[in-house]
Structure 1
Amino acid sequence: MTPEQFAAAIAGHRTAPGAAPDLGASGPDGAVAAPGPADFGADAPGALGELGRAVHAQWAAALAARAAEEAAQRDRLAATADDLRTAAGRYATTDTLDA
């Protein structure tokens, strides 16, 4: 794999074989499938409903935090790909210089 191919692979955010699936992937209609509060029992009466709402809120906060981390990592990866392309271009010019 050449440096240019590696940079393109990074820039394209290709998923490695065996990698975890994208949890934010949408369905064919563009909708993102995510469990709602009722899936955590938040619609139950009393203490169980309170617990379900609390668990759903914690889950939603954790998911939002992971999404923010993913976005930041994607930006860092894109910057790395740009740097790699620049370095590869500069390195290629050294091969053409006369000694």
Structure 2
Amino acid sequence: MDSKDAQLKIMAQAVYELRLLLSGYLGNRDPETQCESVSAHLAYALHNEALAIIEDRPEDFDLNNAISKIKRVDEMYGEQFGERFQNLISDVKT
């Protein structure tokens, strides 16, 4: 495994762990814990893609679908994650 693959796996594992840790905040609309709720939904949106990286299944990581799921979090909470993530991959050919 090269360094880049190891870095990706570490980041993917972190997203997956965050999804597990924050699962209790999914669907929560309490303004006092909105940050946790947004974080939970963002991690949840990407946990299947994170698992695909961890398990060496790149064919199961659809970039456009991942961005769509992130944009749904934006719609739920009025955030701007989708645009920032889209900008990261704007020059990738899918």
Fold shared, TM-score > 0.5 on shorter chain: no
Q: Larger RCO: Structure 1 or Structure 2 (Cα < 8 Å, ≥ 6 residues apart)?
A: 1
Q: Structure 2 length as normaliser, TM-score?
A: 0.30
Is the helix fraction higher in 1 or 2?
2
Q: Structure 1 length as normaliser, TM-score?
A: 0.29
